[in-house]
Amino acid sequence: MSQVYHLTTPLSNEVVSSLKSGDIVYLSGIIYTARDAAHKRLVDLLDEGKELPFDINGAIIYFVGPTPPKPGDPIGSAGPTTSYRMDSYSPRLIAEGLKGMIGKGKRNKEVIDACQKHKAIYFGATGGAGALLGKKIKSAEIVAYEELGPEAIRKLEVVDFPVTVINDSYGQDLYQMGRAQYEVK
Amino acid sequence: MREIAYEEIVKTVRDIIVYSACNLPKDALDAMKAAYENEKSPVSKEVLKQLLENANIASSESRPLCQDTGLAVFFVKVGADVRVVGGLLKDAINEGTEKGYKEGYLRASTCEPFSRANLKDKVGYNLPAIIHFDIVEGDKIDIEYAAKGGGSENVSRARVFPPAAGKEGVIKFVKECISDAGPNPCPPLTVGVGIGGTFEKAVISSKHALFRNIGSVNEDPEMAELEETIKTELNKLGIGTMGMGGTQTVLAVHIEANPCHIASLPVSVNVQCHSSRHTHIVI
Ligand code: SF4
């Protein structure tokens, strides 16, 4: 049965191990944003043996390209983008210590396997709930690649940011499990 | 000949863009509420609750419903007895689009196909708009607008079948499309199906079908029945809200059918996510 957790970042292996596909999690603390272009740069840095612009140990990356903030707001609407575009980069970052990813939509086998092997979680946030999710973000600060605009890496402080465990560290996939349960053949 | 000022068109387009980004239209909101009532999966129900709350926050605080504020798509019917003074209608629509996206703090999402460079400085903020014109009787300008997000557009597809494929072929094609898409297009969905015409006519019809109000009944009884059949089939897939598993995968199926060539049966499926931001205005 699906459980509800309130967790604070960074995530430890113990916490990751306790989560199962279908669990609902409210995240608080620091998460980082990155989309395709930023992922490519992060992996290039690793290939060159250079340091990443933030500490990846236990970190969570949110796949998001927000709308511009209105004056006085930290960020605009900020719901997840489709995750498969990050599939070719995520396993490398997971091997480096990344413990969580937040996005929407299916991941490939390599990502699901990496989550199992190195203990990490793929969380789904609600696509199209950008206004609601934007309000859970209390501050946003660019930490790298400002020139990428909405795709720059931002450090976000979140409070009770709602996500669902899609792929857990046991190789389970909520998209398959949920669908199998309600499919009428 | 009736005359409408260029500036009036600019302002009207700007206003509907800003409004649509933050306010889910009534038909979509009602359909989402009904999905929430009918959903059997507790996880999907929870997510639907978030989406209804999101719609509430968006409209009361004027925040965009979704960060993907889409490409601007228009179907425009121009009366034969009306003319725009002070500039071209097409330019007025583009200018209104740029103003709306900029002043509404919406995202500029148009880019070059390969370099992926954003076009906001080169062509204009979220320009060009996608505009389909038609000429009709009368002295009015009828504008249908939708903000079309990328996630649901990415899973859309079209194919020309041999005539023998028939209704069965159409049902199978739509089902495969939605099944393969799974969680990616942000269900619950509206599915636009263009049938007949030529290849491009089917595609444009499937897009236009998404502008119809959810819950409205097709005027052609045969198509109305086919819409219900396809909807029932799609809801058997079990995809649910955001792919979490559930009974409410599709809010509606809208078909637009056209006469076609004796040799072919073109079919197009255009998918609309739950954030169905569309509006209709007559000037
Ligand atoms: S598919 Fe629709 S709801 Fe989902 S992210 Fe794109 S525009 Fe938003």
pLDDT at site A151: 82
Instruction: Answer yes or no: are the C-beta atoms of A38 and A152 closer than 8 Å.
Output: yes
Residues B142 and B271 reside in one and the same domain: no
Active-site hit among A39, A99, A136, A154: A39
Helix (H, G, I), strand (E, B) or coil at B87: coil
Q: At residue B118, does pLDDT exceed 90?
A: no
Give B273's contacts in chain A (Cβ within 8 Å): 127-128
**Mutation choice for ligand 1 from A82, A83, A102, CB with most ligand atoms inside 8 A:** A82
Question: In this structure, is residue B126 part of a structural domain?
Answer: yes
CA neighbor of B248 nearest in space, from B27, B37, B39, B32: B39
User: Is the Cβ atom of B156 under 6 angstroms away from ligand 1?
Assistant: no
pLDDT at B137: 97
Give the residue among B246, B265, B237 at the shortest CA–CA distance from B181. B237
Our CA-based measurement puts residue A71 at a distance from the nearest CA of chain B, in whole angstroms, of 10
CB contacts, 8 Å: A164 with chain B: 43, 47, 244
Mean per-residue pLDDT for B242-266? 97
Residue B142 lies in a domain: yes
Q: Indicate the Cα dihedral angle B56, B61, B66, B71, nearest 10°.
A: 120
At residue B209, the pLDDT reads 98
Mean pLDDT over B8-19 rounds to 98
Q: What pTM does this model have?
A: 0.94
Per cent of chain A over pLDDT 70 is 99
8 Å CB contact between B162 and B273: no
pLDDT tens readout for residues B128-156: 999 999 999 999 999 999 999 999 999 99
How close is the nearest chain A Cα to the Cα of B197, in Å? 33
**Chain B residue at shortest CA distance from A162:** B50
The mean pLDDT of B246-256, rounded to a whole number, is 98
Judging contacts by C-beta atoms under 8 Å, the chain B residues touching residue A178 are: 41, 43-44, 238, 240, 243-246
- Gap between the Cα atoms of B2 and A38, Å rounded: 53
pLDDT at B165: 97
A1: confidence class by pLDDT, cuts 50, 70, 90 = low
- A87-106 mean pLDDT: 97
Ligand 1 atom 8: residue of nearest CA: A128
Domain-located, residue B92: yes
For the Cβ of B187 lying below 6 angstroms from any atom of ligand 1, the answer is no
Which of A67, A175, A182 has its CB closest to that of B40? Answer: A182
Mean per-residue pLDDT, A104-114: 97
**Residue nearest (by alpha carbon) to ligand 1 atom 2:** B273
Which is more confidently placed, A120 or A185?
A120
Mutate one of B115, B242, B247, B277 to test the A interface: name it (highest A CB count within 10 A): B242
pLDDT at site A77:
93
Residue B159 resides in a domain: yes
Instruction: Kindly report the backbone phi and psi dihedral angles of residue B267, in degrees, each rounded to the nearest multiple of 5, phi listed first.
Output: -135, 135
> B211 falls in which pLDDT band (50, 70, 90)?
very high
Question: Which range has the worst mean pLDDT, A146-160, B67-81, B153-167, B263-277?
Answer: A146-160
For residue A65, the model assigns a pLDDT of: 85
Q: Are residues B163 and B240 in the same domain?
A: yes
| R_g of chain A computed on alpha carbons | 16
Structural domain harbouring B270: 151-275
Overall number of domains in chain B? 2
Q: What is the mean pLDDT of chain A?
A: 94
Hey, are the CB atoms on A76 and B105 less than 8 Å from each other? Answer: yes
SS3 B101: helix
Q: Do B117 and B251 belong together in one domain? A: no
pLDDT, greater one: B269 or A68: B269
Same-domain check for residues B139 and B14: yes
List of chain A residues whose C-beta atoms are within 8 Å of the C-beta of residue B232? none
Tokens 């049902």: give the residue. Answer: B171
Examine the domain organization and report whether B85 and B176 are in the same domain: no
Residue B45 lies in a domain: no
The Cα–Cα gap between B258 and B177 comes to 21
Cβ–Cβ gap B51/A126 under 8 Å: yes
Same domain, B113 and B87: yes
Residue B43 lies in a domain: no
Query: Taking residues B4-25, what's their average pLDDT?
Result: 98
Residue where a domain stops, chosen among B148, B173, B207: B148
CA torsion angle for B214, B217, B221, B223 (degrees, to 10)? -10
CA B229 – ligand 1 centroid, Å = 26
Give me chain B's average pLDDT, please. 96
Q: Point out the residue among B58, B182, B236 whose CB comes nearest to the CB of A175.
A: B182
Substitution target from A73, A182, A183, A185 for chain B, most B beta carbons within 10 A: A182
Q: Which of B101, B113, B210 is nearest to B152 (CA)?
A: B210
- pLDDT attached to residue A160: 97
- Which residues in chain A have their CB less than 8 angstroms from residue B46's CB? 24
B83, B60, B52, B64: which is closest to B21 by C-alpha? B64
Q: Quick one: B138 and B263 in the same domain?
A: no
For residue B140, the domain's CATH number is 3.30.360
User: Which of B68, B150, B244 is opposite residue A174, by nearest beta carbon?
Assistant: B244
Same domain (yes/no): B243, B166: yes
Nearest CA in chain B to A66: B67
Last residue of a domain, one of B103, B119, B148: B148
Pair B139, B182 in one domain = no
B182 and B130 housed in the same domain: no
* Average of per-residue pLDDT across B249-275: 98
**Does the annotation mark A118 as catalytic?**
no
Residue B44 has pLDDT above 70, yes or no: yes
Among residues B123, B148, B173, the one where a domain terminates is B148
Indicate whether B141 and B171 sit together in one domain. no
Is B116's pLDDT higher than 80? no
Classify burial at A8, counting beta carbons within 10 Å of its beta carbon; exposed 0-12, middle 13-18, buried 19 or more.
exposed
Do B161 and B124 lie in one domain? The reply is: no
What crossing angle do the helices spanning B42-61 and B26-38 adopt, rounded to 10°? 150
Domains and CATH numbers, chain A: 4-182 (3.20.130.10)
Q: Is the per-residue pLDDT at A6 higher than 90?
A: yes
Residue B280 inside a domain? The answer is: no
pLDDT for position A94: 98
| pLDDT tens per residue, range A132-185 | 999 999 999 999 988 877 788 999 999 999 999 999 999 999 999 999 999 998
